[in-house]
Structure 1
């Protein structure tokens, strides 16, 4: 009985640990950006001057993700009942990517 409860609690604790770790990293980055504003603005200017390279990098990541989705879709164990949820995830993910890209490309970052 106790093992059943632990098997449900452990994934939640891992997720919370991951979230807190990401929060700590983001707060650490913000702390250093506030402590060293000149260096932070230099990094920002470097990122802006290389925005085409970053755009190509993101396109490569999108292509790799699309290839992975294609491989999953054509996998032998991919059944018909998985198609609708997969399509929903792809539509929502595509909308999020389009919004993020329009924000990045719209402000020239």
Structure 2
């Protein structure tokens, strides 16, 4: 059977997702958002981090379509963009727990 290499553009996009998931701050944000929709101020409070840090990371995650937001007047509420990345994150956590026990 002939080898079908991965499309270079797809490979680059997948690589960017794994890069995003390699950062502990972004993992914390994604984990929180998998539990509940939050505003930036709520994320800041839950994670005890600076608003500028949270905003910067949310912008990065949004560019990669890992999170989405809805606007209510002047407030933005963030949630996971879809279940695919949350599933990947969950599988990585399960794998890690399995390998360290």
**Structure 2-normalised TM-score?**
0.30
**Structure 1-normalised TM-score?**
0.28
Q: Write 1 or 2 for the structure with the bigger share of helix.
A: 1
Instruction: Pick the structure with greater CA Rg.
Output: 1
Q: Write 1 or 2 for the structure with the bigger share of strand.
A: 2
